């Protein structure tokens, strides 16, 4: 799909996963339009050199603003949309669910409406080639027990304000495909990690807290299980879905790397002991704290459909990806200091409903 005149529009392109997608596509020669409201987790520094490429455009637009979105579509005439703009932190959704409903539900609705109107103005061939890739999470499926994995046929059972808002947006996106014919593809992924991730999420929070000598808070007894995927592997899956996915289809991406939360934290400490021995042993900082309200026990992804239909598979083991991640945070002290200098300083979120 490279070298075509019309760009790919990426919402949330200054966020963690979005910026990784932007960096990959821009440096491969794609024309891009980045749409981002630059909320607390959005950072143009994460896009890096891609912003200097003449074929990359940036629009500071909130996806809830239908008028601004319509202007962007008219001016740039995108041939595809990759929708990653979302409020995404479970703990933050417990404290303030309003922003999650407004952005993830209403914002997705506004974006689909504007994209559909744009799609209807296109030539027959361009309409056939157009794609709307809606990026979601495995959390919409609820929680698993000790066995089993989520698949494309798993029933929805969201348990948090965040996952409920994403589940709603998934249903809206599919409805726009089935009712209006908009070529929508839905993807769901497991926990992402890697460079440029905002430090409210587990792995960067542990890295940055350990470097400061702060406590490493582990919820409950640390037994909750997540499947981890390195962000670059997820990005490759999203590009495969864009290029080879079937409209109306759903694709799940996971890293085949289930770990208990306490195992993840200990692994971070082990890598830090090697790469930053001055603070070793870092596991002395581990502290067990009151569990998150409604904390889902286990998530796991069966990615066979993505493997068989898209030819995708993760390239990073958890150990390799974690080493690359820790090394990046150690090397990029200016970036990590800047993101910790704003409103969020690593404090505990998500306790409101249990107080």
Beta bridge partners of 301: 150
In the chain, helix, strand, coil percent, each to 5? 50, 15, 35
Cα 106 to Cα 44, 103, 110, distances in angstroms: 24, 6, 6
- CB 174 within 8 Å of CB 184: yes
The C-alpha torsion from 166 through 167 and 171 to 172, rounded to 10°, is: -30
- CB 94 within 8 Å of CB 291: no
Indicate the pairing of strand 191-193 with strand 131-137.
Answer: unpaired
Q: Which of 30, 36, 62, 139 is catalytic?
A: 139
Q: Which of 162, 193, 251, 329 is catalytic?
A: 162
Is 138 among the catalytic positions? yes
- CB 61 within 8 Å of CB 39: no
Q: How far apart are CA 86 and CA 81, in angstroms?
A: 14
Q: Which of 91, 138, 170, 200 is catalytic?
A: 138
Is 5 among the catalytic positions? no
Q: How many CB atoms lie within 10 A of CB 212?
A: 13
Cα 182 to Cα 132, 176, 246, distances in angstroms: 8, 6, 12
Alpha-helical segments (H) within the chain: 16-27, 66-76, 90-95, 97-100, 108-120, 124-129, 161-180, 202-212, 231-244, 261-275, 304-310, 318-331, 333-339
Cis omega (within 30 of 0) for bond into 262: no
Residue with tokens 């990784």: 20
Beta bridge partners of 187: 135, 251
Is 258 among the catalytic positions? no
Q: How far apart are CA 156 and CA 158, in angstroms?
A: 6
- CB 132 within 8 Å of CB 112: yes
Q: Which residues are part of the catalytic machinery?
A: 138-139, 162
């Amino acid at each position: 799909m490279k070298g075509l005149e019309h760009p790919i529009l990426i919402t949330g392109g200054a966020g963690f996963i979005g910026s990784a997608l932007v960096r990959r596509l821009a440096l491969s020669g794609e024309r891009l339009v980045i749409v981002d409201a630059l909320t607390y987790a959005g950072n143009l520094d994460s896009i890096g050199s891609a912003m200097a490429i003449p074929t990359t455009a940036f629009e500071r637009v909130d996806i809830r603003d239908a008028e601004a979105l319509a202007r962007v579509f008219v001016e740039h005439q995108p041939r595809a949309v990759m929708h990653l703009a979302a409020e995404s932190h479970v703990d933050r959704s417990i404290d303030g669910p309003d922003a999650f409903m407004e952005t993830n539900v209403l914002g997705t609705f506004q974006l689909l409406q504007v994209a559909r109107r744009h799609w209807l103005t296109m030539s027959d061939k361009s309409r056939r080639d157009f794609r709307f890739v809606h990026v979601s999470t495995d959390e919409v499926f609820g929680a698993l027990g000790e066995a089993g994995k989520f698949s494309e046929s798993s029933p929805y059972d969201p348990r948090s304000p965040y996952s409920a808002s994403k589940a709603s947006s998934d249903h809206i996106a599919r409805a726009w495909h089935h009712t209006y014919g908009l070529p929508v593809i839905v993807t769901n992924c497991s926990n992402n990690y890697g460079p440029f991730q905002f430090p409210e999420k587990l792995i960067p929070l542990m890295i940055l807290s350990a470097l400061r000598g702060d406590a490493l808070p582990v919820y409950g007894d640390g037994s909750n299980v997540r499947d981890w995927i390195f962000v670059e592997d997820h990005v490759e899956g999203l590009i495969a879905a864009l290029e080879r996915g079937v409209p109306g289809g759903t694709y799940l991406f996971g890293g085949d790397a289930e770990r208990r939360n306490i195992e993840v934290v200990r692994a971070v400490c082990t890598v830090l002991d090697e790469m930053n021995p001055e603070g070793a042993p870092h596991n002395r900082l581990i502290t067990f704290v009151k569990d998150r309200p409604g904390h889902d026990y286990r998530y796991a992804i069966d990615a066979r459909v993505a493997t068989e239909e898209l030819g995708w598979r993760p390239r990073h083991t958890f150990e390799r990806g974690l080493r690359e991640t820790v090394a990046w945070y150690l090397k990029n002290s200016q970036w990590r200091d800047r993101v910790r200098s704003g409103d969020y300083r690593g404090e505990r979120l998500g306790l409101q409903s249990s107080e």
